Amino acid sequence: MLGSTILTRLFTLCLVSSLFLSSSLCQNIDFSDLPSLLGDYDDEFISRNQLSDNEPTDDYSNLEDNYEEVPHPVGVYYWGKDLKLGQVSGVAVDERNRPVIFQRGPVTWNHKSFDRNYVLQDKTPIEEDTIMTLHPETGEILRSWGKDLFYMPHGIAVDSLGNTYVTDTGLHQVMRFPLGSKEPDLTLGNRFEPGNGRNQFCQPSSVAVSDITGDIFVADGYCNSRVMKFNKDGELLDVLDGDWDIIHSITLFEDENIFCIANRNGQTIECFSTGLKRPFGQKMMLFEGVGCIFGIVAKGTALVGVIGKPDSSGITIDTS
């Protein structure tokens, strides 16, 4: 099942936006860096005139038929070129295979954002839409929302029912929004209060959701170094503590009952049992020396990820 590893350099536009986060070790990347990011990229790029002229539709699930077990991403250079965004902290794909992004608008995360106790200093909500659903072929905005709801957006996930899950590192909370709703039906953590208790987070970075059980996996990854597992009703089931140096992203291999984390400054990807067939947190895989890994996503038997500076590249890891 989980054997040899193949690392392939790639570029994935959706994942690269998860790099826009500051760090003294793993540096920030801006869209102005895009040409240098690509370098001597050998894969095919789709020119703008090859994009579909079709009007946006409601469903792009047919795109799933073209996915491989180990995908070979293709950059679309002109995709979404007219988007006006702030720091993009998270990217997901919704139940209709449309990209959904989580962005900070005018807010930036810098050394003044939090005090030494991890308390957000500016408690003014972002006064523009922070969540945008995009046309998968053109990058056109199909829906946007989230104005006056968030303070320091970070992670985002969408389950098979269309529920949207987000983490806000300023609020120290994780929220679930039902399909079409702008009000959460589940909120975990205490508003603006960092902590390490059973009902607290400290700058939660990422969230992943099981489409089989509805369980919610939270990377409480900045000032706490742990993964917390909740059921669909928000009841805490398990906690996995570690000595990671910023868990920046989390993803699930549903069929294998495995979750993987991106240990950003530790420069590793580590995978563990979800607790369905083996004890929760049993280590299953370790990939070392991958660079400052900002974002990972599971697809088929592959892990696709984005590495920050100084490497500034993407990777595909074949776990088969």
- Residue 310: helix, strand or coil by DSSP? coil
For residue 227, which of 262, 183, 176 has the smallest C-alpha distance? 262
Strands 164-168 and 173-177: antiparallel
Where b means 16+ CB within 10 Å and e means fewer, 161-185 reads: eebbbbbbbbbbbbbbbeeeeeebe
- The residue written with tokens 């679309």 in the block is 76
Our measurement of the distance from residue 286's CA atom to the centroid of its chain's CA atoms, rounded to an integer in Å, reads 20
What the block records as the tokens of 115 is: 């005090």
CA dist., res. 269 & res. 51, Å (int) = 34
Question: Any binding-site annotation on 135?
Answer: no
9 in a labelled binding site: no
What values do phi and psi take at 63, rounded to 5? -65, -25
104 is in an annotated binding site: yes
User: Is 248 part of any known ligand binding site?
Assistant: yes
Q: According to the annotation, is 91 in a ligand binding site?
A: yes
Q: Rounded CA gap, 80 and 17, in Å?
A: 12
Residues 236, 174 contacting (CB under 8 angstroms): no
Instruction: Confirm or deny that 154 is annotated as ligand binding.
Output: yes
Cα–Cα dist 141/153, whole Å: 19
Rounded-to-integer distance, Cα 85 and Cα 87, Å: 7
- 206, 154 contact by CB (below 8 A): yes
Residue numbers belonging to the annotated binding site: 91, 104, 154, 222, 248, 264
Residue numbers belonging to the annotated binding site for a protein: 104, 222, 264
Residue numbers belonging to the annotated binding site for Zn(2+): 154, 248
Residue numbers belonging to the annotated binding site for Ca(2+): 91
